[in-house]
């Protein structure tokens, strides 16, 4: 189980990059010599050095002149196949070859065309022992956003809403009415800092006038995406402030005004979910939370374009209102949050 223990540490390191490395994957790396960790690192920010570089630099810094000998007899654990191409940084596979490491243990292969087995091939051709597939399912789940974008050419799509105990989503009188408590709100803010974008429809923007920011000290604000076919949302709305980049899909114009990006679409009443998903893919948006309203959520549900649903259910009873969406999937978690219940579903894959 030794390989699994060190790979688990790679995953613990990798998750530290959440919200900061997209559209790259989250990657952790641990370097072990004679059953002792001598260096570790993770991919910290898009455009900066990768996990393997940070781990090797840790060894070089800590051990100085001893480092080259230690590395030649070390096992490098990395949660994703080392890259084999020149992107924003040089290939990590070349770095491991340069330091003549003895063994490399990999969580899973990188499906990106420029890598996809080429990193493993470089290591093997250099005479390095390679083991792959260690904690593969856990490594894949960690980077589900990245794998969805590469394999399906669309972002990882998270549906999120709150509903009353009797299944209502919004009041009939188009007023703002809170359903969940403080814990659910704080969790929602954290999610915003972890994903690339958040999407709402026109009615939600007008009725709730949300800021769609993370509210977390030091947390990253997501890109705000709004569906407003005829540009009816008042310019005084919070989405037009300077807190985050805002994309407004509409049928009127394409224009950029500081942080507000208007993107024109044709025939938005046809295949809206599919068009949005493809546009976000082209924009390098790797994950999106769709918060409503009901019509937008149902567009994505009926198109079968979603990966995860996060549903808060309160103890409040309304007796009337607009019914929450109906969705079926595999239950990943059921968590009590104060007086609320959080259910996380994954789409059943055929």
- Give the residue numbers of the binding site for Zn(2+): 50, 83, 92
Q: Residue 191 and residue 130: Cα distance in Å, rounded?
A: 36
Buried b (16+ CB within 10 A) or exposed e, 294-328: bebbbbbbeeebbbbbbbbbbebebeebeebbebe
Q: Residue 350 and residue 347: Cα distance in Å, rounded?
A: 9
β-strand 197-201 against 168-170: which pairing, if any?
Answer: unpaired
Place of tokens 């009901």: 294
Q: Residue 160 and residue 311: Cα distance in Å, rounded?
A: 6
The catalytically annotated residue of 40, 52, 195, 308 is 52
Nearest partner of 13 among 37, 35, 44, judged by Cα: 44
In this structure, how many other beta carbons lie within 10 angstroms of the beta carbon of residue 216?
Answer: 15
Place of tokens 């589900």: 144
β-strand 330-337 against 322-323: which pairing, if any?
Answer: unpaired
User: Residue 37 forms beta bridges with which residues?
Assistant: 32
Residue 251 annotated to the active site:
no
Q: Which residues are catalytic?
A: 52
């Amino acid at each position: 189980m030794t390989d699994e223990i060190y790979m688990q540490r790679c995953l613990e390191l990798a998750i530290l990059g959440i919200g900061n490395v997209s559209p790259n994957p989250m990657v952790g790396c641990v370097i072990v010599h004679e059953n002792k960790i001598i260096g570790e690192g993770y991919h910290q920010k898009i455009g900066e050095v990768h996990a393997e570089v940070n781990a090797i630099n840790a060894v070089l810094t800590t051990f100085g002149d001893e480092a080259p000998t230690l590395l030649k007899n070390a096992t490098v654990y990395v949660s994703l196949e080392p890259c084999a191409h020149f992107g924003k940084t040089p290939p990590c596979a070349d770095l491991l070859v340069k330091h003549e490491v003895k063994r490399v243990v990999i969580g899973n292969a990188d499906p990106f065309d420029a890598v996809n087995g080429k990193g493993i091939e470089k290591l093997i051709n250099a005479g390095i022992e390679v083991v792959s597939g260690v904690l593969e399912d856990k490594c894949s789940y960690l980077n589900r956003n990245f794998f969805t974008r590469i394999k399906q050419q669309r972002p990882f799509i998270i549906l999120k809403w709150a509903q009353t105990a009797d299944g209502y989503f919004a009041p009939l009188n188009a007023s703002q009415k809170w359903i969940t408590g403080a814990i659910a709100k704080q969790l929602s803010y954290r999610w915003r800092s972890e994903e690339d974008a958040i999407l709402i429809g026109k009615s939600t923007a007008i009725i709730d006038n949300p800021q769609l920011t993370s509210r977390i000290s030091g947390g990253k604000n997501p890109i705000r995406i709004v569906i407003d076919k005829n540009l009816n949302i008042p310019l005084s709305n919070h989405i037009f402030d300077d807190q985050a980049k805002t994309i407004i899909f509409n049928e009127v114009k394409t224009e950029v005004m500081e942080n507000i990006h208007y993107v024109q679409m044709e025939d938005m009443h046809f295949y809206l979910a599919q068009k949005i998903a493809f546009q976000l893919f082209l924009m390098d948006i790797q994950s999106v939370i769709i918060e409503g309203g009901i019509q937008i959520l149902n567009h994505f549900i009926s198109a079968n374009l979603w990966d995860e649903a996060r549903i808060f259910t309160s103890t409040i009873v309304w007796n009337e209102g607009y019914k929450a969406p109906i969705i079926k999937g595999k239950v990943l978690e059921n968590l009590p949050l104060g007086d609320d219940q959080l259910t996380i579903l994954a789409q059943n894959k055929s």
